Amino acid sequence: MADYYTTIEAFRKSLEKSTEFRPRTGVILGSGLSKIADSLSGTAIDYSQIQGMPRPTVEGHRGFLKISRDYALLAGRFHYYEGHAIQDVVKPVLLLKALGVERLIVTNAAGGINPDFEPGQIVLIRDHINLMGANPLVGPNNGDLGPRFPDMSDAYSRALRKRISARLEYPLKEGVYAGLSGPCYETPAEIRMLEKIGADMVGMSTVPEVIMANYLGMGTVGFSCITNMAAGILDQPLNHQEVIDTAARVETHFRGIVETVMELLASE
Ligand SMILES: O=P(O)(O)O[C@@H]1C[C@H](O)[C@@H](CO)O1
Ligand SMILES: Nc1nc2[nH]cnc2c(=O)[nH]1
């Protein structure tokens, strides 16, 4: 495994110069959702000012950290399909760890497989299926950071999900997120397979981040914004513009949910 301990220490040192905030809650914002970070007060730190932090290359991922007393928001993640090593894909989580974050909210844009879902809907992630073909924990393990064989049976904290559902005015549907490497969207046959193995939505991120967060002992919750129905469900082609447009259309609604959850976690 990459020397994650050294990476976390390097981030800690780099951030010491730019912020004194040490929030307990971290948020990783998915495609087209970075406006949430604009609307919060705090210090903005561009990834270019953080030593060792890669630059995002995908439209909708801007590449800055917004930090306040209670929250650290990352507007920009790294995807395996961009050509980043899987050890770099998890750098946002390592950065949050360096700040002392204990709870993580991950968000993403995803294609809906479950026919009960529709574009624009926000779904609470109950579990995931790792079909990335990679795992950030492969390699020698540093037992000071986490166990060799991490348990993944509560990777999306059941307790936190329960509290979130109780706090929101209406319950969110829950679903299983299948994480594939991308960058192709799926074929209709692949979507039929994913449905059979229990996936409700499909995307190209989140899974490596949640594996790392779970390994490092962060309580994690995740939200998918269903930006499109997955391939073959509707008789229409898929494209990233639709993903960005749908995320933009429901941004205020999504932001309301994420902010409520952030307040809930900060008040504990
Ligand atoms: O970063 P997320 O998972 O929100 O972005 C999804 C997956 C791809 O990057 C992109 C495909 O349109 O949206
Ligand atoms: N893999 C995948 N990722 C997405 N991100 C947003 N929509 C989709 C989709 O349909 N498939």
Binned at pLDDT 50, 70 and 90, residue 71 comes out as very high
Residue 223 clears pLDDT 90, i.e. is over it: yes
Give distance in angstroms: CA of 126 to centre of ligand 2. Answer: 18
- Reply yes or no on whether 205 is catalytic: yes
d(CA 220, CA 180): 20
Query: What is the per-residue pLDDT for 55?
Result: 83
Annotated ligand binding at 254? The verdict is: no
Average pLDDT over the chain, rounded to whole? 92
Query: What is the per-residue pLDDT for 30?
Result: 84
CATH of the domain at 179: 3.40.50.1580
Q: What pTM, to 2 d.p., does this model score?
A: 0.95
Supply the range of the domain harboring residue 208. 4-266
Tell me how many domains the chain contains. 1
Residue with tokens 């209709």: 188
Give distance in angstroms: CA of 13 to centre of ligand 1. Answer: 30
With the most atoms of ligand 1 within 8 angstroms of its CB, the residue from 128, 185, 205 to mutate is 205
- Reply yes or no on whether 240 is catalytic: yes
Binned at pLDDT 50, 70 and 90, residue 31 comes out as confident
* Averaged pLDDT for residues 54-79: 86
* Averaged pLDDT for residues 171-182: 95
With the most atoms of ligand 2 within 8 angstroms of its CB, the residue from 113, 185, 239 to mutate is 185
Query: What is the per-residue pLDDT for 60?
Result: 61
- Min mean pLDDT across 15-24, 28-37, 208-217, 242-251 is at 28-37
Query: What is the per-residue pLDDT for 193?
Result: 98
* ipTM here: 0.98
- Min mean pLDDT across 174-183, 204-213, 237-246 is at 237-246
Terminal-to-terminal C-alpha distance of the chain = 34
Annotated ligand binding at 228? The verdict is: yes
- The candidate with the shortest Cα–Cα distance to 217, out of 167, 121, 145, is 145
Residue 243 clears pLDDT 80, i.e. is over it: yes
Query: What is the per-residue pLDDT for 61?
Result: 59
Using only the alpha carbons of the chain, give its radius of gyration: 17
For 32, the token pair is 């087209």
- pLDDT tens by residue, 76-128: 999 999 999 999 999 999 999 999 999 999 999 999 999 999 999 999 999 99
Query: What is the per-residue pLDDT for 2?
Result: 61
Our answer on whether the CB atom of 30 is closer than 6 Å to any ligand 2 atom is no
* Averaged pLDDT for residues 139-146: 94
* Averaged pLDDT for residues 222-240: 93
Residue 141 clears pLDDT 70, i.e. is over it: yes
3-class DSSP state of 12: helix
Question: Rounded to the nearest 10 degrees, what angle do helices 91-99 and 207-215 cross at?
Answer: 30
Q: Burial-class residue 222 by CB neighbours within 10 Å (0-12, 13-18, 19+).
A: buried
Annotated ligand binding at 267? The verdict is: no
* Averaged pLDDT for residues 127-148: 96
Query: What is the per-residue pLDDT for 81?
Result: 95
